[in-house]
Every structure is written in C-alpha cells, then in structure tokens.
Structure 1
Amino acid sequence: MSAGRWLQLVLVNLGRELRSNLLSVFGVAAGIGSLVFFVALGLGVGEVVKTRLFPADARFVEVIPPRVSVGIFGGAKLDDAAVERLRALPDVEAGYRKMTLRIPAISRYDGSFFGQRLRMGLEILAEGVDGGLIEADLTPGVRFDDPEGDEPIPALVSTRLLEIYNKSFARMRGLPSLSPPMLRGFEFPVELGRSYVTAQAAAGTPLRAQARLAGISERAMLQGITIPLETARRLNARYGEDARGYSALVLVARTPDRVPAVAQAVRDLGFEIDDSERVLAERVGAAVAITTAALALLSLLICGLSAVNISLSAGAAVRTRTREIGVLRAVGATAGDVRRLFLGEAAFIGLAGGVAGGGLAWAVAIGVDRAARSWLPDFPFKPDSFFAFPGWLLAGAVAAGVAAALLGAFVPAHRASKLDPARAIGG
C-alpha cells in the first residue's frame, strides 16, 4: 500500500468515527496536559530555588578553617601560608579571601531616607573580601579599597537582602521600595566597637565612620555588609582582634566538573568546605523534585487510562470493521498494511492529544501566573512565572501522546492483521 493511499484511508477512518476519536483525543490531552503542567511547575520553582533563593556559582568552593585542630598541618588557621597552598592546588583558577569583622558595630540612622524621615538603629555585621570576588557588581568608577582618612568605607549589600527588604520589611514599615540604581552612593553612619547586644564593647575607643554603598551583589554577605578585606584587617588589628586569620577562602575551579577534585584536595590539607547553603538548596530542590515526580506519576496514570481507552476503542473498531479488513486483504493489502493502518489512526489521535495537552498546559500556566500576580501578595523571591517550558518538554509531550496511543492500539492492530481474509469477508 502506497503512503498516499495509507494516509487517505487513515483520515477517512478517523472521520467515520469522529466522536469516539475525539473522546480518545480528550483522554490523551488530559493526561499529557497534566503531566506537562506539573513538570513545568517543578522546573519553574526549581529554577527560582537555584537562581534567586540560593544563587551559587557552580565553580566556587568555599574553604573554612577546621572546627577541630587535627592533621599534619594542625588545622590551626587559614592564614596567608595556607592560602598560598590552597591557591596552588591543581585545577584552581583563583582564590578570594574573606575575613569577618571581629568587632561589634552599629548604625544609628536619623535623617531623610529616599523621601521619608527615618530613625533606626541596628547591629551591623560585616565581612571583608578581596575585590576580585565582587568587582563585576561594583558601580562603574567606584574603587573597592580601604579608604584613606575620613573617606567613607565602600560597602556592598546582598541582592537577596534587598529583595527581603522590598517585599517584607519596607511594606510592613511603610518605607519606600528601593532599586539598585537608587542605592548607588547611599551613605549611612557606622559606629565601630559598639554594640546594642553585647554587654561589653570592643577594647578601645569606638570609631565613628561613614559607609557608602558601592553596589549590589549576589556574592555579598546576606545578613550584613561586605567591605574591602584590608578595611576588615585594619579594624580588627585596631581593636586587638585576629587580623591574620581568614574566615574563608573562595576557590574558583577551572571548570564545574573539577569542583569535587578541588574539594577533596582541600580536605586532604586538613580544611573544611562550607557547603551549607548548597546543601540547603539541594534539599529544597529535592523536595520540589519529589513533589513534581509524585504529581507526574499521577499524570502518567491518566495517560495509561487513556491508552486503555484507545485499546478498547480500537478493539471495538476491529470487530466493527472485520468485513472491511477482509476486503482490504482480498484486494492485495498485506497483514503489515492492516497493522500500519490501525497504528496510523492511533498515532494521529496521540499526536492531536499531545499537541492539545501541551497547549492546554501552557494556557493554564499563563492563567495561573496572571492569577498569582493579581491575588498573591508580592512576597520575597516571588517569580514573574512559576513555570518553565523548555523545548524538550513540549516535544516530549507530543512524543508521549503518540507513544501512549500506539501502546494502546498495538494489540488490536496486531489482532486485525491476523484476521483470515476469507472468514472476515464471510462474517
């Protein structure tokens, strides 16, 4: 049977049993649509977790001093000598030092705050870093160096901290929402060596200074401000705190696939890896993946039921069209032609159901996103869309629809191909 004749017969047969075939298409579309919807939801939420809630560079390995002093190097301190050893490890492209500001600090702000009067005091946490770690996020033309004299201390804040402020704190306090361009160059007072929390301040006279925002960065300290490393070193030394030991060293692997080898080499030197945020991101991502998988299994069950429905419909069609099958065999159609005829009809049903299901899932997702924008509060890290529709997902939807239909029609098609022509014609 030629391809043209085969296609003509497939389309004629589909049109003859239009109502039954439309019900089969609906069943496939329901299963495929729910599958695509839930997988797209899982992909979208997972992307938010990875890129906004817990952003991390895949090449970064954050080294911290060991909590217990053991090993050949004593595990005592992450100092300059240790930094050089770690930077010299194979597959390490760069290393950026971090030093916690080990003295208390506060800020008492009393003045105009972007058009509103603000009086507020808060404890300040700070961390000094090498400028190379955050240079891409600095305001153009701003230097990230230890200031001279009475110059303000350059500081960066976390993009996540700004998100939390805008979507939570500012709304509850009636304060203005801020954007990164608005914050460029904003100054606020800092009192070093003084605390609202601890009973005893740092040894030495408290120092009043100004801090000036030099940028917003995903790599900045989440719960405080990020300042130049040499500023943290100078202030720690001024108040008699450790100014030589680093709180962390961020190693940059040459490629993401070399991260495990770099991490193992770090552990072999007696240091530890701070992967707490990455582990938390993986746990949240795993919870999302498990929920998505459970809902996807439910959708696959619906697809299975649609395959059973197609199988029953095809079986009924074989019984109804027994004489027609006999005539086809009598005029030269082979058993393979008959099998391909029934499978072709099922493939068209699956194709239509897959396309309709994918389109339905996309339309429902758009509706859900619009409803979320209208009805849900603007909470921190709220995405523009909760869904992600990569091309492979939509292509997979169509393929899954066709596969489900072919699976359901295989046994009836095989049975039709085995009918004896003489018996079929004779009834």
Structure 2
Amino acid sequence: MSWSETLLDASFRGVPLDVIDENLQAQRAIAQHGTPYQDGDSVEDLGRGARAFAMRVVLFGTNYEIALQALLAALDTIGPGELVHPIYGSVSVIAYNWSVQHTANRPDYAEVSLQFIEQKPDEPFFKRQFVFVDEASLMLGDEYSWQDGLFDLLASVDSLVADVQGWIGGGWTGLLERALGLPGIGLRLEQLRSQIMGVVSGVVSMAKGDPLSAFDPLVNLAQTPTEIRRAIQDSTPTTSSDLLARGGVPAAVPGASSLTGEAGNAGASLLASARQGQTPSDEALPKAMPADPLAASGMALVVLVITELALSHAQAASVVIEAESEIPTLSPDELESLVNLVRSLIQSAILLQRRLYGIEDALPVIESLRNIAHLVQARARSVILQSPPLILRTVQTPSSLRLLAFRWYSDHSRAAELLRLNPGLTRPYSIPAGEVLRAYAK
C-alpha cells in the first residue's frame, strides 16, 4: 500500500502539525580499542543514543497566529510530551530546538523547523500493525464484481465437490462391490447403513430441523449428500455475532459415534482447529483413504461434512463482510477472526481431499476452494483498510468514553466506536488516567 494511505494526523501535546517533510536520525555509541603495531581496531557497541525527529511544519490562513501561539505554548512547556508522528506513531519526546520563519511575500504563513529528542529508553517504537497488500488483489476492489465472483465460485465448487460426494453417491457403488466379496456381507451392509444414517441424523439435529424422512442410504445414494448439504446450510449462522461465537461449527462430526476407524478423531481435531481459527495439525490428517470399505465410507462422510461447512461459512462470511463495508460494526480483530474461521475450514477441506483422493483427482475442487479463501481474505482486508490506522492512546485524566470521543475526535457519538475497539473495557463510564485504549488515528 502507499504510505500516503497510512499517515497519521501529526500533533505535539495535542496541537495539530501540518508536516511538509520529516527526518529521523539516530546514532550508536561505540568504543574503539587499538593495539600498537597491529592494523585495525576492536570496536565495541555501547548502544544506540536517543532518536532525533526533525520536521518542518507550516501554519497558514487568516487565523494562523492563533495556531502559532498554541504551538509555541506547547513547545515552551517543560518536560516530555506526546508526539504523534505521521509515520512512526506515538512517541514520548522532549522539544529540543525550533525556529519560526516568516517571509514577506507569503503573508499569513509561517514555517516552523522542529527537532524532538526521544525521551524514554527502550520504549516500543514503530509498532503499528500494517497489512501486506498483494497488488494483484487490488483488482478485487469493485464490490459488485467481488460479490458476484465469490458466489460464482461457490456455485463452481458446489458442482466440483461432486468428486467428494460421488464417493457417498455413485462412487459408493464401487465400494459396495468391493464389500460383496468379503465375509459377513449382511453385517457390513447394515454397518454401512447405520454409519451413514448416524452422521446424516446428527447433522440434521444440529440444524434443529424436522426428523428425516425415511430413506435407505444404500438405495437412495444421491439423497445422503443432499440431506447433509441442506442441514449444514440451515445450521450455519447468518449474523456476525453467531459466526464469531462459532455457532455453526460443532465440536465433533455429528453422529461421530457411528463412524468406524480414525474418521471421528480426525474430524474432531480438524473442527477444533477451525473453531480456534488455526492451521490444521498435520498429525490429525489421515495418511490415505482406508482400504476397508466401512472405514473408507466413514472418512468420506467426514470430508463431505467439513467441505460443506467450509462452503456455507464462506458464503455467510461474505455477506457479513460486504455489510461491514457499508456500516462497520466489527473491530479489525473480529473481522480477522471471521476470516480465520473460513480459512481454517477451507484449508481442512483442501488437505483432506489432497490426502484421500490424490492431487490430480481433487485438483479442480482444491483450486476453487483456494480461490474462495483468497477472495474472502482480500475483501476483508480492503474493508479493514477503509478505516484509519489503529493506534494506542493513553487516557491523560479520568474520563468516560463519550468525553474521550469528544476530546480525540470532537465527536462524542464515536464513543460506541471506542467501545467496539476495546471490548475488554468493563467501566466505559469511569476510565482511570493511564489506561491505554485502542483508537483510530483520526
């Protein structure tokens, strides 16, 4: 991104500064130890000295004298003060020297050269959080095309995911043919039926839907993925608060008690990672599709459930993110948490399909899922960048959020915004001096 898009409103002791150029200087103290009759010195680093901030600011307009008086009063105040640097953020400094220049051919105009010296050693410096922007993703700036493209991709993946659903649908024909030659076919078929119905019933109950209409999953093969997809879509939250609370992501695969082999454990581990918004653990992933038909069908059920969860949450998150571009209600951290949920679910689905079906067979599904994750992340990033940069501001005197909003922004109604950015604030009506709050730079 351009630095011009992330500049802060500069000020010293609360007096605004219109900076036209700035310069940061720093020097390290060293000790040189020479040895007679030997070339070169041993150089010892004794640490860095205080940083020096030099800048030129301009004052202009009919009332420029009033602004000049305020600036000189701030500079004449003894002791350290807060400098909000346009690039480096808040720094505690001492006003070291300054000069004011007037020119005859520029009335109502003054140029002030300032130099500040950093006052606190070892204070965190330049700790603002910046977001890497892939220039190629800037093409996604058009909101309609992004939304349209996202839902087109969702539809694309919905058709491509037939590779996964095929194992439970027509693909199960081959699985059952393999089972026919094994001993105890009657028992195996009953176990398959029980396993499939256990998962489907669990997903339907998660959606608090009507009981399943009677169907035999071994006869009506195509109805199993249809029932799972419908139930997951019905159980996926549509509000940001419910999505952030992970209301649509179960702690384990529904009906996991009916699954055979390692399918249930693998599903529970992947869903736990998704609820935390973390990258799935490699140890939780199966190495390959099990050879046993019953265990293979259980693993295919896990793939289907997690893939459908990823698709439905990506669609729900896209609607929330698009609404945030119009009326912000979430903090940047909450938007990041929402994207992390979608990313983790999609990554789980991609890794499962890559391990169980092979890269070549699963490539169309993997590519579409990857594109969805990229679009959701790029759009959320652009929404976050619509707001000014976040900085940390220290409350100087006991106050309330409404009073702080007026002091910082001359708009008391932005108290709700400050509360949204500081959800851990328990007493917004009584904030002690010294409290550090997150706030937009302007």
User: Structure 2-normalised TM-score?
Assistant: 0.25
Larger relative contact order, structure 1 or 2 (CA cutoff 8 Å, min sep 6)? 1
User: Structure 1-normalised TM-score?
Assistant: 0.26
Larger helix share, 1 or 2: 1
